[in-house]
Amino acid sequence: MAVEIADVVKAVVLGVVEGLTEFVPVSSTGHLLLVERFFGFSDEEFGKTFTVLIQFGAILALLSIYFVRIWKIAIGFFVDDAARRFVLGVLLAFLPAAIIGFLAHGFIKAVLFNVWIICVMFILGGFILLWIDRLDLKPRHYEATRFTLPMYLGIGFCQVVSMVPGVSRSGATIVGAMLLGADRRSAAEFSFWLAMPTIGGAFAYDLYKSHAQLAAGSNLLIVAIGFAVSFVAAWIVVKTFLGYVQRHGFALFAWWRIIVGALGLIGLALGY
């Protein structure tokens, strides 16, 4: 398959969108679906595995930054009660979404992947972020690896809401953690930790379902470009996000959601 400039541009745009939005509270899935709807930048023309592999680029960026900490926890798991407790906490937080996602995967894809729903969720999520930013919360937890086990499980149930496209996995996790007593930074950082099994599991499931198309029907050069762009964009976000929200809060992401959601509704109402 010949590589055209237009295909390269589309791959770069989709890679940037995936990388910049995967780990911040704006919904990467929602953005990819809106880009497809309004700009015609569909991933399907590059093969069914394109989205799966550019998502892996974002995951790999996160894992590369957290590799040393992951390694220390993995080693400490055998000798350190705190490390074992944190691993258990992440698994508890992951469990609700894993179970409900497995049971409701078909319904979610068939019914909830709707651009009208996405735009409404963008706006609602934006106002929720503004609300949580302005609450006079009294944080009790400042280290993501030291939340209580019931708190980890509660965050996991909050993450389930993000199965509705446009809600944002990161946003639901952060809001849940802050309402349960975490400060901004630790809430945002735990969203990174929880992303590892959650996004990793979703990636493995999607890859299993589409592995037959990995080589066939995919332009490998285009996929590689999207993967690389997603990796770089996600790496920049992960390196800067925690410091930004600690200093400035979530207003930037909230207003971005509200503006994009409103523009999307206007576009849909006009028949685009």
> How confident is the model over 106-125, as pLDDT tens digits?
888 888 889 999 999 999 99
Count of structural domains, the chain: 1
The pLDDT score that the predictor gives to residue 198 is 86
> Tokens for 126?
């934006």
The Cβ-side half-sphere exposure at 24, using a 13 Å CA radius, reads: 30
Check whether 245 has a pLDDT greater than 90.
yes
| DSSP per position, 228-267 | HHHHHHHHHHHHHHHHHHHHHTTHHHHHHHHHHHHHHHHH
Place of tokens 């999207």: 226
Angle between helices 50-65 and 184-210 (to 10 degrees): 140
Check whether 216 has a pLDDT greater than 90.
no
Cα–Cα distances in Å, from 120 out to 84, 117, 124, 206?
40, 5, 6, 26
Span 253-260, mean pLDDT? 98
Q: Which residues pair with 87 in a beta bridge?
A: none
Instruction: Please report, rounded to a whole number, the percentage of residues in the chain having pLDDT higher than 70.
Output: 92
What's the whole-model pTM score?
A: 0.91
Give per-residue pLDDT as tens, 11-27: 899 999 999 999 999 99
The pLDDT score that the predictor gives to residue 52 is 74
Give the SS3 label for residue 68: helix
Q: What share of the chain is helix, strand, coil (3-state, %, to 5)?
A: 80, 0, 20
**C-alpha–C-alpha distance, residues 64 and 72, integer Å:** 14
**C-alpha–C-alpha distance, residues 262 and 272, integer Å:** 14
Give the domain range for residue 28. 5-269
The pLDDT score that the predictor gives to residue 48 is 56
Check whether 214 has a pLDDT greater than 60.
no
The pLDDT score that the predictor gives to residue 47 is 56
| Cβ atoms of 182 and 135 closer than 8 Å | no
Number of neighbours of residue 239 by Cβ within 10 angstroms: 11
The C-alpha R_g of the chain, in whole angstroms, comes to 18
Check whether 32 has a pLDDT greater than 80.
yes
Angle between helices 67-76 and 50-65 (to 10 degrees): 70
| Cβ atoms of 135 and 181 closer than 8 Å | no
Stated length of the chain? 272
The pLDDT score that the predictor gives to residue 95 is 95
Residue whose C-alpha is closest to residue 162's, from 151, 174, 179, 178: 174
